[in-house]
Amino acid sequence: MSGIRPVRDEWYGYLGGTMTTLAFLPQVVKTLRTRETRSISLGMYLLFTAGVFLWLVYGIRLHALPMILANGITLLLSFVLLVAKWRWK
Amino acid sequence: MSGIRPVRDEWYGYLGGTMTTLAFLPQVVKTLRTRETRSISLGMYLLFTAGVFLWLVYGIRLHALPMILANGITLLLSFVLLVAKWRWK
């Protein structure tokens, strides 16, 4: 994946991606467990989800696997939250 | 900045970065206005801040200006939240 770049550069991305994705997880777990979505801002999550989608496209364009994985997983989680918001009030 | 890449690729990053950074802003504004930090998770923001810092380093390594700008600004905002959490209970 890394081509002309040293492989170890990618690890900043993998570690950063793991951390920012893990930081997002408690909200998803809480929402799925409580089915309570009243205090979640729809506008904020629509903006966030669209932004993460564009980061994913950018990562694909850069052939940067850490960006593709981290933003792919975060997009999925964020999409779960949007569906939860839409289904549960 | 783009070297061998077409310049337009960067715009996915600029647009995505603008959106995910804007999505983070309401929390910062709310915290600075209310000085209320009780319902903010310290562990989550420590993890998030460390993750964003690593994304910034990764962006610098990739010479990807959208990543450097977006993660630099988000790191600053996230750091403001951590300081607020530390100062206001």
CATH number of the domain that A29 lies in?
1.20.1280.290
First to last CA, chain A: 43
B58 contacts in chain A (CB < 8 Å): 9-10, 12-13, 16, 66
- How many structural domains are present in chain B? 1
A1 interfaces chain B, CB cutoff of 8 Å: no
Answer whether residue A65 is part of any domain: yes
Q: Which residue of B has its CA nearest to A74?
A: B20
Provide ipTM, 2 decimals: 0.85
By the 8 A CB rule, do A35 and A85 touch? no
Task: State residue A67's pLDDT score.
Answer: 97
Answer whether residue A16 is part of any domain: yes
Nearest CA to B64 out of A21, A74, A5, A77 is that of A5
Answer whether residue A4 is part of any domain: no
Task: State residue B6's pLDDT score.
Answer: 58
B22 contacts in chain A (CB < 8 Å): 47, 51
Note the pLDDT tens digit of each residue in A17-72: 999 999 999 999 999 999 999 988 899 999 999 999 999 999 999 999 999 999 99
Residue range(s) defining the domain that contains residue A22:
9-87
By the 8 A CB rule, do A6 and A55 touch? no
Q: Is the pLDDT of residue A1 over 80?
A: no
Q: Quick one: residue A88, left, alpha or beta (phi over 0 = left, psi -120 to 50 = alpha)? A: beta
